[in-house]
Amino acid sequence: MVVHDVSEYVLQEVFHPPFYIQNLLPVGGSLLLYGRPGEMKSWLVMYMAFCIATGQDWLDFHTVQGRVMLINFEISPAGYHSRLVSMNQNFSIEPSMLFESSPSIMFLEDPAVFERFKADVDAVNPNIVILDCFSKCFGGDENSSRDMATFLRNIDSMKRDGRSVVIVHHSNKNLLVADPMDRIRGHSRLAGDVDTVIQLAKQPTCKQIQFGKTRLSAVEVHSRNIIFENYLWRLR
């Protein structure tokens, strides 16, 4: 255990953690994006992937260009391919910057399954891995602390050499809960483990991203109203 004398420690140079997405996705960190079914979460993280892979702003958040791997567990491979083609018309992707895989359902809390999965990811060596979605890559009890801890321990083992992980998840059915942190389906370990929690919510004329937690941000991050048009997300 390292102990610091604070009177001396505060005089040392401050280390500011770097981000792939300004104030939201730290290098070597994690982000959870969740919402109700049909809220277009997959389109939003796909847009996130294109933005990071090209170094463009994601909404009004600056990005640092990185290699991204989209792993689609939910949509058919043909359907996902079609979405990529549609969104790509707005970008110019360089080779070896954005990767996609649409495997069948696999449960990443299983040691043997996870080791095969991790080997495939390591072969690509992305900076950011996006798992879409949690319910299709987790076969345990979402409300079990033990099962969730096993999954999170495996995911943490992938976050080496600055690799970050984005997890897409669903909200619970309790519409009366006001706090975004309490609307996440399953055990609280998931929300507690990640660095950033974002909810995608439906509004009368648009969508809204709400921030339940931005652990490493140096500033308070406020909700944004957004709209999806011509395969692009923009602020409303």
- The mean pLDDT of 159-182, rounded to a whole number, is 81
Considering only CA atoms, which of 152, 209, 205 is closest in space to residue 180? 209
Q: Is a pLDDT exceeding 90 seen at residue 94?
A: yes
Indicate if the pLDDT at residue 179 is higher than 80: no
Averaged pLDDT of the chain: 93
Q: Which H helix or E strand runs over 161?
A: none
Q: Give the model's pLDDT for residue 97.
A: 98
Alpha-carbon distances, residue 7 vs 11, 15, 156 (angstroms)? 7, 17, 34
Cβ atoms 144, 150 nearer than 8 A: no
Q: Does any domain span residue 106? A: yes
In this predicted structure, what is the pLDDT of residue 148? Answer: 94
- 136 in a structural domain: yes
Query: pLDDT tens-digit profile of 44-73?
Result: 999 999 999 999 999 999 999 999 999 999
Name the token pair of 188: 């609280």
Determine the average pLDDT of the residues in 86-102: 96
Structural domains counted in the chain = 1
Residues 115-146: tens digit of each pLDDT:
999 999 999 999 999 999 999 999 999 999 99
Confidence class for position 182, pLDDT limits 50, 70, 90: confident
The answer to whether residue 88 is domain-embedded is yes
pLDDT on residue 107: 95
In this structure, is residue 18 part of a structural domain? no
CA within 13 Å, CB half, 144: 10
- pLDDT of 175: 59
- CATH code of the domain in which 206 resides: 3.40.50.300
The reply to whether 169 falls in a domain is: yes
Residue 21 pLDDT > 80, yes or no?
yes
Is 202 within the bounds of a domain? yes
CA-to-CA separations, 17 to 6, 28, 151, 183, 188, in angstroms, rounded: 20, 10, 25, 28, 25
Nearest partner of 184 among 17, 3, 22, 34, judged by Cα: 34
pTM of the model: 0.93
Full residue range of the structural domain in which residue 168 is found: 25-235
Inform me whether the pLDDT recorded for 178 exceeds 80: no
